[in-house]
Amino acid sequence: MGAPTVETQLALLVQTSACQSDKIDDMHRVLCGNGTPETGLIVRVDRIEQAARTRARRWLALWVPVGLIMIAAAVRVIIYGTG
């Protein structure tokens, strides 16, 4: 067998290019949601990040007042004693 001809190499290049184009299209569909952004990976990751921020705010809103009450109780005990 001899070296591949230019036509054979060109046909292989076209086939490889089409395969890579299909893979790129598939990745775009996965990331962007194929016309419906709600199903895309980008939107889903953004929603997860928003949920994490919301949980952090709720945690802060809950535990800061609890901590302040505990500090106030400790200060009261230190200043006035237990009796």
In the block, residue with structure tokens 């598939």: 26
Domain ranges of the chain: 6-80
Alpha-carbon gap, residue 40 to 31, rounded angstroms: 5
**Least confident among 13-17, 39-43, 64-68, 73-77:** 39-43
Show the tokens assigned to 15: 């086939």
User: What is the DSSP code (8-state) at residue 39?
Assistant: G
User: What is the DSSP code (8-state) at residue 40?
Assistant: S
pLDDT at 83: 60
Alpha-carbon gap, residue 46 to 83, rounded angstroms: 54
> What pTM, to 2 d.p., does this model score?
0.51
